[in-house]
Chains A and B, each alone.
Chain A
Amino acid sequence: MRPCSRALLSGSSALLLALMTSLLGACGSHSQLDASPAAERSSSTASVAATTTPTTPAAFAAPDEASIPNDGFGKSIKLGRDIFMHTGQYAKAYVGNPLNCASCHMDAGRLANSGPLWGAYDMYPAYRSKNGHVNSFAERLQGCFMYSMNGKAPPLGDDVLVALESYAYWMSRGVPLGKEMPGRGYPKLAKPAQTADFARGEQVFQRSCALCHGADGQGQQAAGSYVFPPLWGPQSFNWGAGMHELDKAAGFIKANMPLGRGNSLSDQDAWDVAYFMSARKTRVTTAMWSRRGRNITTRRHRCTASK
């Protein structure tokens, strides 16, 4: 029986370092991407070029968006991409918070060490200990809506799931089936030298995170829509999300935060602030779910916290 899939979790620290080194020294490969709605009026043939990492040949290059065909299948791929980037707009019926998939799966799900789709799609179907059975990729996506988006599962076969799967499939062509690709998921950090600590984490948060996510962790909005997402509370991901797990959060934060300054925090800081964020969330979520009387699936919460 296939072991439990950690499809969005594993990664290689060495590869991460190599990736970041290549990013810092990369020559300017001109990358054209499909523009957001505001910019689409002015762009005609702009498209996403392959995301190349010159000095890390093992890293997968997500394809140029110009390769999305101009047919019915392409329409589904593009819808999947739009859902990914503007989830509340294109999958409104299923979301319960203002996050987008792209909030934590950066560069529209293309970026290594940020939970890229090309690192996950090829690993399904897979047995998951989370729910004790073999999950299709579509069922995996349902979990994203229930937990990360604090919403509800689109029914299997729904256009939303088909579109997301189309997008993931298109992006993953060329990835060998079942291969654990370098850069998949978030990097696994070594356990911190000091046990993750709430007070230290709060300091890291105020210093490095509050600028964007707000001192209260509730994000920031402009003209009625979120620019920086909330990190805890009813407007953020819930207890079932991968981001609520300490090791995943620490790995994501280390590689990707602050935005554009990935790999600038120490491992210790990443663990501490991940714990802080997770602890803030637990307090709120426990209270919310108790009031609702929901049936919470028990999960072991491996907590390295001192509090």
Chain B
Amino acid sequence: MKPIATALSESERAALANYYAALPVPAATPAAATVDASAAVLASRGRWSQGLPACVQCHAADGGGVGEHFPPLIGQSAIYLANQLRAWKTGTRHNDPLGLMQGVAAQLSEADIDAVTAWYAAQPMAAPSKESKP
């Protein structure tokens, strides 16, 4: 992605972002993988013995995200989600406001990452939100 992204101008990046954000969200085909009950718990309750908040506390109860800074987790591939968590964990991604995701990822084991990303990827998508930006 780096050479491609680098080749784009600022206005091209903005235009592409707006274009893709405006496309209708296809119905997700949830993974056939067995759903991990502990992943559901991690997503909805966190693990406060380690100071780890639940995903839903920032990304909303349905994983649909909120506002400009807390994106949806549903409708994403498990691979993409896992890559982001690993990137925060290793510090290769560090654009998270207040370092919130780096703090979260630091508390996640590899098994946690696999489980919770598979769980979110398997969640059904709601009807396209009326609030999606044009």
Contacts and interface: CB of A to CB of B under 8 A. Distances in A.
A46 B48 contact: no
A38 interface: yes
A107 B56 CA distance: 12
A208 interface: yes
A26 B48 CA distance: 11
B78 interface: no
A194 interface: no
Interface stretch (A5-13, A117-125, A179-187, A222-230): A222-230
A40 B59 CA distance: 18
A225 B104 CA distance: 24
Interface stretch (A141-149, A259-267, A277-285): A259-267
B50 A35 contact: no
B48 A39 contact: no
B41 A260 contact: no
Interface residues of B, number: 44
A46 B119 contact: no
Sorting the interface of chain A by its residue count into under 10, 10 to 19, 20 to 34 or 35 or more gives 35 or more
A295 to B, nearest CB: 37
Given A38-B62, A43-B40, A261-B98, A111 B50 contact: no
A133 B63 CA distance: 45
18 contacts: A24-B51, A31-B48, A33-B41, A33-B45, A34-B41, A36-B44, A36-B45, A38-B123, A43-B41, A47-B41, A51-B48, A107-B46, A108-B45, A111-B48, A222-B65, A227-B59, A227-B60, A261-B98
Contact of B61 (A30, A106, A225): A225
B109 interface: yes
B9 interface: no
Contact of B48 (A110, A212, A220): A110
Interface string A11-31: 000000000100110101111
Given A223-B129, A260-B53, A32 B37 contact: yes
A261 B100 contact: yes
Q: Which 4 A-B pairs have CB atoms at the shortest separation, nearest pair first?
A: A33-B45, A39-B40, A107-B48, A36-B44
A145 to B, nearest CB: 22
Given A28-B50, A211-B98, A42 B126 contact: no
A286 interface: no
B40 A46 contact: yes
Contacts of B37: 32, 35, 42-46
Given A35-B40, A258-B98, A51 B51 contact: no
Interface in B63-102: 63-67, 69-70, 97-100
Contacts of A135: none
A44 B30 CA distance: 19
A208 B100 CA distance: 11
Contacts of A134: none
Given A36-B61, A260-B51, 11 more contacts: A28-B109, A31-B48, A34-B41, A46-B40, A46-B41, A47-B41, A51-B48, A106-B48, A107-B46, A220-B70, A222-B60
Contact of A262 (B51, B64, B69): B51
Contacts of B35: 42
B29 interface: no
Contact of A260 (B38, B52, B59, B119): B52
A33 B63 CA distance: 18
B13 interface: no
A228 B66 contact: yes
A46 B61 CA distance: 18
A67 interface: no
Contacts of B61: 36-38, 225, 227
A260 B50 contact: no
Given A42-B119, A225-B61, A260-B51, A220 B67 contact: yes
